[in-house]
Structure 1
Amino acid sequence: MKTDLKKELDSYRAAAGVFRFLDIPPLHYLMIDGSGDPNTSPAYRDAVATLFATAYRLKFLSKRELERDYVVMPLEALWSSADMASFTSARDKTRWDWTALMLVPEWIMPEHVTRVRDDLDDGAAPARGILRLQTLDEGTCVQTLHVGSYDDEGPVLRRMHEEVIPGRGMTMTGRHHEIYLNDPRRTEPAKLKTILRQPVTGASAGGAD
């Protein structure tokens, strides 16, 4: 059977207009760090290309050598900025720091990543030199589904940051997390689906607003 972590993990479920609180277990990701506007930054473009090239090579390695097939997961990113208003109001992407990432199954080991990375060339994986496998432990989070252009996320994030989280007596911790469920090259901006996630502290998970 082919493993599909999107269907198995509760953390990949979200609904538009619903802010859900949940505890997310530690998960394993391919990661590449960078900064700047993702729409214009060559570094972000190179990171995305490298992640996809590596992810598919790992899938084939797993199927061939480990006899465990799985669905390649969607692109994700962690975002941060010294001024959180750059996310919710000004949307000044030039001031953003990011980590592009893709989830891999827990049976993928560092040695598998090293083998695949060393097999790829700079044309297919231009950022392979800074690729790493790392565990992300986000703990308690609030998340919702945004449907529409990435540039229209501001009002949803303002509600999350300024109403929903304080309304539960919680505070933000960690980095803003986005999961891109569609390929923007093949999807109209109005139909893009993105899970917006924010780690929080100060209360237990469970329930929705």
Structure 2
Amino acid sequence: MKTDFKKTLACYTAKRGTFDFVDVPPLRYMMVDGRGDPNTAQSYADAIAAVYPVAYALKFLSKNELGRDYVVMPLEALWSASNMDVFTTERDKSQWNWTLLNMVPDWIEQDMFDTAVAESMAKRHTSVHVDLRMEVLHEGRCVQTLHIGSYDDEAEVLHRLHHEFIPAAGATMTGRHHEIYLSDPRRVEPSKLRTILRQPIEEAKVVGVDNP
């Protein structure tokens, strides 16, 4: 049996045109950090080039050594900036901080991850060094929606999410803006790209009143 976490984890489904609350459990990810315009920064291209070979090396190690096969998860990213308006109004991509993510099963241990990284580097015969690590991310309570269209068309949706829906719900943003790329931009035209947009939040605590 091959596990597809996109089908077993509710946080990997979202609906277009609505903002929905979701509780995201602690999940294990391969991660790499960087900064700059994802369209032009060489570090971003290098990170993507490093993530997928390791992801598939992990998949085959898991299948061959543990007898546990799974579908490699899509690329994801956490985004932040000192001024979050660079995502919604200014769109100054040079100011974007990012952490690329790829979810891995919780049965993957550090030694297996280290082996996958070493095997991938050996096969690629590259001198480019990318600081890949494996960590658990716990986002907890979040709001998310499905965006269909180009990445540059996300700004209006994010503005409504950040400045209208979340404040109206009595919540505040915590953590970093999270995107899950369900489509491969090399194979899908920009107008049809499917991306889950997620924002961790903290909801206002309601203080109960004891009945007399």
Query: What amino acid is aligned across from residue 58 of structure 1 in structure 2?
Result: L
Whose Rg is larger?
Answer: 2
Query: Which residue in the other structure is 1:81 paired with?
Result: 81
Aligned pairs for 1:33-182 within 5 A: 33-121=33-121, 123=124, 129-182=130-183
Query: What amino acid is aligned across from residue 133 of structure 2 in structure 1?
Result: R
Aligned length: 204
Change (3 A) 1:58 1:147: same
Change (3 A) 1:36 1:25: same
**Displacement of 1:121:** 2.1
Q: Percent identity?
A: 57
1-structure distance, mates of 2:126, 2:58: 13
The alignment partner of 1:196 has SS state of: strand
**Displacement of 1:202:** 1.8
1:74 touches 1:102 (CA, 8 Å); kept in 2? yes
Change (3 A) 1:182 1:2: same
Change (3 A) 1:125 1:117: farther
2-structure distance, mates of 1:118, 1:172: 38
Change (3 A) 1:76 1:100: same
1:47 touches 1:127 (CA, 8 Å); kept in 2? no
Query: Which residue in the other structure is 2:210 paired with?
Result: none
**Displacement of 1:49:** 1.1
Aligned pairs for 1:185-204 within 5 A: 185-203=186-204
Query: Which residue in the other structure is 1:184 paired with?
Result: 185
1:53 touches 1:125 (CA, 8 Å); kept in 2? no
TM-score, normalised relative to structure 1: 0.94
2-structure distance, mates of 1:60, 1:152: 37
Query: Which residue in the other structure is 1:207 paired with?
Result: none
1:44-73 residue CA offsets vs partner (Å, 9 max, x unmatched)? 111111110100000010110000000000
**Displacement of 1:125:** 6.8
2-structure distance, mates of 1:125, 1:19: 43
TM-score, normalised relative to structure 2: 0.93
**Displacement of 1:124:** 6.3
Give the aligned CA root-mean-square deviation in angstroms. Answer: 1.4
2-structure distance, mates of 1:125, 1:75: 22
Change (3 A) 1:125 1:70: farther
1:92-111 residue CA offsets vs partner (Å, 9 max, x unmatched)? 11000000010011111111
**Displacement of 1:120:** 2.2
Change (3 A) 1:91 1:126: farther
2-structure distance, mates of 1:2, 1:124: 30
Query: Which residue in the other structure is 1:13 paired with?
Result: 13
2-structure distance, mates of 1:127, 1:44: 12
The alignment partner of 2:34 has SS state of: strand
**Displacement of 1:91:** 0.9
2:31 touches 2:101 (CA, 8 Å); kept in 1? yes
| Structure 1, unaligned runs of 5 or more | 205-209
Greater Cα offset, 116-125 or 34-43? 116-125
2-structure distance, mates of 1:26, 1:48: 23
2-structure distance, mates of 1:11, 1:111: 28
Change (3 A) 1:125 1:23: farther
